[in-house]
């Protein structure tokens, strides 16, 4: 982890070993960095939600909670945008294979909404390589 | 396992459940909430339940999943479920996922309780 001053972009690289605890640590570091750069409450809400979804997906669907497997996290947070990358040690994932959770016949299925929420709140979401690494960008809109 | 962070109150045949945590995002906590709510639903067939989100300011898709499961169980037990006091950012999550169509939501607890009369 390295900080380069209050207005400079902050670059983070964190390895998460366990979901409970480590996800919250990431949230706290990111939240402090966003606040320092003047992100508003709506942006903080959106980013917190998307980080939770991405990191939990890494542990749950990627690593399938196997002990010893880690989730890697990178972030670059500037005053204009925040970019996050999350990589798990699983086999990868095809986001196109997730059924549309908003289709009437799927509304009562209790899973499959995380990716959709990330796409709704983030400016960009892409899955890289085999699908075990994802990148998402939140761009601030200027008033 | 520690207790789920919920408060349960029954008045006039309606059970109101509220959350004692502002953030319903932790996986273990969500599981505890789900188990507690399912236990409640199973213990009282025909349960009229209001879930109040007053004070809740963060929620994840895993929490939505639990709500969907609980809703299904309530229906299977011939009960009725209402949601209320959902803060605007949280309600936005319901709208994005179109779950505002699955659940009956109300602005206040009073309105939700009244709808069960």
Q: What is the mean pLDDT of chain A?
A: 92
Nearest Cα residue to A6 out of A35, A37, A41: A37
Say how many domains are in chain B: 1
Per residue in B39-95, pLDDT tens? 999 999 999 999 999 999 999 999 999 999 999 999 999 999 999 999 999 999 999
B37: domain range? 6-110
DSSP state at residue A97: G
pLDDT in tens, A27-86: 999 999 999 999 999 999 999 999 999 999 999 999 999 999 999 999 999 999 999 999
Provide the pLDDT confidence category of residue A143 given band limits of 50, 70 and 90.
low
Tokens of B61: 């898709």
For the segment B93-116, what is each residue's pLDDT rounded down to a tens digit? 999 999 999 999 999 999 999 999
Mutation target for B interface from A104, A113, A115: give the one with most B CBs within 10 A: A113
pLDDT in tens, B74-90: 999 999 999 999 999 99
Average pLDDT, chain B: 95
The B105-106 sheet, strands edge to edge = B6-11, B14-19, B48-52, B80-84, B105-106
Q: Which fold has domain A10-139?
A: Heat Shock Protein 90 (3.30.565)
Which residue ranges make up each domain of chain A?
10-139
**Which among B34, B81, B82, B87 has a CA at the least distance from the CA of B56?**
B87
Contact A110 B97 (CB under 8 A): no
pLDDT for residue B1 is more than 50 = no
How sure is the predictor about B32, in pLDDT bands with cuts at 50, 70 and 90?
Answer: very high
Q: Do A49 and B102 touch (CB under 8 A)?
A: no
Evaluate whether residue B116 is within a structural domain: no
How distant, in Å, are the alpha carbons of A116, B9, B10, B19, B28 from that of B13? Answer: 38, 10, 7, 20, 30
The yes-or-no verdict on residue B12 having pLDDT over 70 is: yes
Alpha carbons A60 and B54: distance in angstroms, whole number: 29
With tokens 């979804």, the residue in question is A53
- What is residue A7's DSSP assignment? S
More confident residue, A93 or B95: B95
Percent of chain A with pLDDT over 70: 94
Angle at B60 between CA B46 and CA A32, to 5 degrees: 145
Domain assignment present for B1: no
Which residue is listed with tokens 């890697």? A72
The answer to whether A120 faces chain B, any CB pair under 8 Å, is yes
Region class of B56: left (phi > 0), else alpha (psi between -120 and 50), else beta? beta
Q: Which residue is it, tokens 């236990």?
A: B39
Task: Kindly list the residues from chain B whose CB atom is less than 8 angstroms away from the CB atom of residue A20.
Answer: 26-28
Contact list, B64 vs chain A (CB under 8 Å): 110, 113
Q: Which residues of A touch B25 (CB under 8 A)?
A: 48, 52
Instruction: Return the SS3 of A57.
Output: helix
Sheet-wide strand order for A133-139:
A10-16, A71-77, A81-87, A133-139, A124-128
Q: What pLDDT band is residue A2 in, cutting at 50, 70 and 90? A: low
Helices (H), A58-136: 114-121
Which residues on chain B are in Cβ contact (under 8 Å) with A45? Answer: 57-58, 89
pLDDT at residue A24, as a whole number: 92
Residues 6+ apart with CB under 8 A from B74: B41, B47, B49, B80, B81
Q: Is B102 on the interface with A (CB under 8 A)?
A: yes
- Given a cut of 80, whether residue B2 has pLDDT beyond it is no
Q: How far is B13 from chain A (nearest CA, A)?
A: 27
| B68 touches A: beta carbon within 8 Å | yes
Q: What is the mean pLDDT of residues A88-99?
A: 90
- What pLDDT does A1 receive? 53
**B68 with A109: Cβ contact below 8 A:** yes
Q: B52 at the A interface (CB within 8 A)? A: no
Cα angle for residues A22, A23, A24 (degrees, 5° grid): 90
Nearest CA in chain B to A60: B27
Chain A touched by B96 (CB under 8 Å)? yes
Q: Which of B102, B83, B22, B97 is nearest to A121 (CA)?
A: B97
Give A5 or A142, the one with higher predicted confidence: A142
CATH number at residue B91: 3.30.750.24
């Amino acid at each position: 982890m390295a900080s380069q001053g209050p207005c400079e972009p902050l670059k983070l690289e964190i390895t998460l070993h366990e979901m409970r605890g480590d996800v919250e640590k990431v949230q706290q570091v990111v939240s402090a960095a966003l606040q320092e750069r003047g992100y508003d409450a709506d942006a903080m809400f959106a980013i917190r939600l998307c980080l939770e979804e991405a990191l939990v997906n890494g542990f749950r669907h990627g690593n399938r909670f196997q002990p010893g497997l880690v989730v890697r996290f990178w972030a670059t947070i500037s005053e204009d945008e925040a970019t996050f990358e999350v990589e798990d040690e699983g086999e990868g994932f095809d986001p196109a294979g997730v059924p549309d959770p908003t289709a009437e016949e799927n509304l009562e299925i209790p899973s499959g909404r995380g990716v959709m929420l990330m796409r709704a709140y983030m400016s960009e979401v892409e899955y890289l390589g085999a699908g075990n690494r994802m990148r998402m960008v939140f761009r601030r809109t200027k008033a | 396992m520690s207790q789920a962070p919920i408060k349960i109150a029954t008045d006039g045949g309606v059970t109101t459940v509220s959350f004692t945590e502002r953030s319903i995002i932790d996986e273990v906590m969500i599981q505890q909430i789900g188990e507690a709510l399912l236990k409640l639903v199973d213990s009282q067939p025909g349960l009229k339940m209001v879930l109040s989100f007053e004070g809740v300011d963060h929620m994840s898709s895993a929490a939505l999943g639990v709500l969907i499961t609980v809703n299904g169980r309530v229906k299977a037990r011939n009960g009725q479920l209402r949601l209320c006091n959902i803060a605007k950012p949280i309600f936005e999550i319901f709208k994005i996922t179109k779950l505002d169509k699955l659940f009956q939501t109300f602005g206040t607890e009073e309105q939700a309780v009244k709808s069960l009369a």
